[in-house]
Amino acid sequence: MQVPPPLPTQTESSSAIWSQDELNAYLDKPLMAGNRIFPGTEGLLLRDLEQDILKGGRFVVHHYCISVFVMTFTRSSSIHYLRSTQSGLSRAASYTLLSMTLGWWGIPYGFILTPFTLWKNGRGGTDVTADLLPQVVGSTRAHSILSKAAPRRISGLHGLLLSLSLGLPPLMIYTLIKSLDNA
């Protein structure tokens, strides 16, 4: 599990009161996951991360589905930060391709869970910013940032990925059945 850096120490009161120097020192650090910089936030300080979230950046997970005969497994990727200038299409496409290749084979749940997985990835993954940000900057500051943040943008290419991933398998099955009927 990736763990954000600890918040500055709290005073004796129930809410944290930070001095301006404490706050500046905290915001001038990168977001760390253990001893590594959090994936996708390379080159960003927490201060920059907050500004990018206001422009539409977000923390996301993508999903995949793998089936083996009667067993079907759905899993999520690790959390990754997508900057406001990134669509995340390549990450979504790789997990979608994995699900399209290995998800359908489970009976009956492969046919049920794979489309849900493809739908989630086609919508840009699952946004977990509202869950993660309070752990990083505190709940009050996170609420303030999220209330002012630009809405999540999903590129038209995600829609194309969604259409292809949900439409292609039934078309392939139909073509296979028709070719077997003609043989």
User: pLDDT (tens digit, 9 = 90+) per residue, 51-101?
Assistant: 999 999 999 999 999 999 889 999 999 999 999 888 888 888 899 889 988
The alpha-carbon radius of gyration of the chain (Å, integer) is 21
Which pLDDT score is estimated for 18?
72
Residues making up the chain, counted from first to last:
183
Closest CA relative to residue 91, chosen from 68, 115, 58: 58
CA distances from 11 to 21, 136, 138 (A): 15, 18, 14
CA dist 95 and 116 (Å) reads 13
**% of the chain with per-residue pLDDT over 70:** 78
Place of tokens 């996708």: 40
CA dist 42 and 40 (Å) reads 6
Closest CA relative to residue 79, chosen from 157, 159, 142, 135: 135
User: pLDDT (tens digit, 9 = 90+) per residue, 101-134?
Assistant: 899 888 888 888 988 898 888 888 899 999 999 9
